[in-house]
Amino acid sequence: MRRFLFLLVLLAAAPLVSAQPSTSAPRETLVNQIVAIVGSQVITEQDVKVDERWMSTTEQFEDLGQYMKNLQGQLEKALQVGNQEKAKTVREEIAKLDKDANRALNFRFSLAVNSLIERQLLLQNMKSNERFVEPPGLADKFMADYLRERKLTHAQLAQKLQREGSSIPQFRRELFDKWLVDVALYKSFTISPRKVKEYYDAHPEVYKPGESVNLHIITLLKAGTPQERAEAMTGEIKTLADFKAKAKELRVERDGARGWLARKDTSLSKEIMGAAFEAKVGQAKLVAGTEANFLIFVSERQANRQVPLAEATADIENILAGQQRREHYDRKIDQMKKQFFVVRFDSGGR
């Protein structure tokens, strides 16, 4: 599969400085390559790149892209002053991050292709039914709702779509197809109290975790936030309200709320967990990492936290219903793959 060099995707920056020509340098895509065919529908590389899953993926790499630009600057300076040892170290870090980022992007590109293939299977299955008829006026309603919610005029949307290489009729069809996929996937599941209790008892680490803290985290990349500024920021935070305000300012998802974590939780690094359980309630601390600092705040602490079954029931019902929904979805997709012709041209086929 072509290499999705993330500097090309995210930065539109100059090629990385290197002592030798790169064999994997970014190249312009002159052809909108076909990545899959589902029945009569062709899925192109451009279809993937405008897909919500892929768009959200590239947004997550913006901070890393900025860090790579900073490294590139360090490398150029090291080469200018003849500091070969520094240049070698920075070049190695660039190569490692480049490799890791491309692996992640290729994987997520593959997921986006899977998503579009499955979407097409559902659509073609619905539309191939001889009783299928598009409800009159429904797509127009979706279009009107979209314009109203975003405070756009028809002309403004048309201009926006034209810039993106799309059109009003195509967008109208996409809105209807999205609704049709939701209809195809809809199925209600009822979870019995016995199943809820069995799940609750089988997961004491979740519902009876013992000593726990309610943790909030802001990640501060060293490339964008110098050490002195990170330390000053930590000193400015005296309350949870201060922390949330800073998180909003930095556009941190969910205002940095990580939720309740038990001492034995392994989802975060040992350094972060150690600092969290050393911190006092209402105290902000700065935890050092290799490429980033982590500003943490403990808002609550419980020595022997337990979640009552009644409080956990809704959460467990959602988990079990989600599992059943996924199994139902996988069965439908497997059936449709036998019914419709599907072929992939990237390396992520499964």
| Domain boundaries, given as residue ranges, for the chain | 6-127, 133-186, 209-305
Q: How many residues are listed for the chain in this entry?
A: 350
Instruction: Tell me: pLDDT of 57 over 60.
Output: no
Exposed, middle or buried by CB within 10 Å (0-12, 13-18, 19+), for 326? Answer: exposed
Please say whether the beta carbons of 116 and 48 come within 8 A. yes
Mean of the pLDDT values across residues 308-321?
93
Give the pLDDT confidence score for residue 9 in this predicted structure: 40
Lowest mean pLDDT among 10-14, 56-60, 307-311, 321-325: 10-14
Of 119, 112, 134, the closest CA to residue 56 belongs to 112
Tell me the per-residue pLDDT of 79-120, one tens digit each, with 9 for 90 and over.
998 899 988 988 888 888 888 878 877 888 888 888 889 988
pLDDT, residue 10, reads: 39
- Over range 333-337, report the average pLDDT: 89
Confidence (pLDDT) at 312: 93
Give me the pLDDT at residue 98, please.
80
Say what the pLDDT of residue 187 is: 72
Domain 209-305, CATH = 3.10.50.40
Distances 282 to 213, 214, 241, 254 between C-alpha atoms, Å: 11, 11, 10, 18
* Whole-angstrom distance, CA of residue 243 vs CA of residue 253: 13
Quote the CA–CA distance of 165 and 184 in Å, as a whole number: 28
Q: Are 116 and 148 in contact (CB under 8 A)?
A: no
> Which 8-state DSSP code applies to residue 253?
G
| CB-CB contact of 113 with 91 (8 Å) | no
Q: Is the pLDDT of residue 7 over 60?
A: no
Per-residue b or e along 90-102, where b marks 16 or more CB atoms closer than 10 Å to that residue's CB: bbebbeebbeebb
What is the token pair recorded at 84?
A: 């070969």
> How do residues 279-306 score in pLDDT, each as one tens digit?
999 999 999 988 889 999 999 999 999 8
Give, for 162, the enclosing helix (H) or strand (E): helix 154-163
Predicted confidence at residue 317, as pLDDT, reads 94
